[in-house]
Amino acid sequence: MPQQVLFRESLGDVLRAERMRQGMTLRQLSTEARVSLGYISEIERGQKEASSELLGALCEALDMPLSDVLREVSDQIALEEAARELHVVSVEGLSSSDSGPEVVASAA
């Protein structure tokens, strides 16, 4: 079975992308949000869960509504879910074919 899609990983991607879009450094965001730089960095890399309060502080520092962040995360995860679904269908549909593994690899 394909690996589970993790909320914190997509959240980290979205938060990092938004920070970089604004040309903000980790240090600037850290100062603005009053959250340690190392902690923000771990959240952006999907290694730590962000508490709801911390997530709120980061959204405020990025001047981005929490609902927008979550919608982007939802969209990103929907794409990953579709890709995993495709992967499963490929594995099932091609399980008796010699070329299965290569096709699966490119679809996943």
Binding site for a copy of itself (CB under 8 A): 4-9, 49, 51-53, 55-56, 65-68, 70-71, 73-75, 77-78, 81
Least Cβ distance, residue 79 to a copy of itself (angstroms): 8
Least Cβ distance, residue 24 to a copy of itself (angstroms): 21
Could you give phi then psi for residue 27, rounded to 5 degrees? -65, -45
- Interatomic CA distance for residues 57 and 26, integer angstroms: 14
Least Cβ distance, residue 67 to a copy of itself (angstroms): 4
Report the number of secondary-structure helices (H) and strands (E) in the chain. 6, 0
Q: Measured from the CB atom, is 81 or 102 closer to a copy of itself?
A: 81
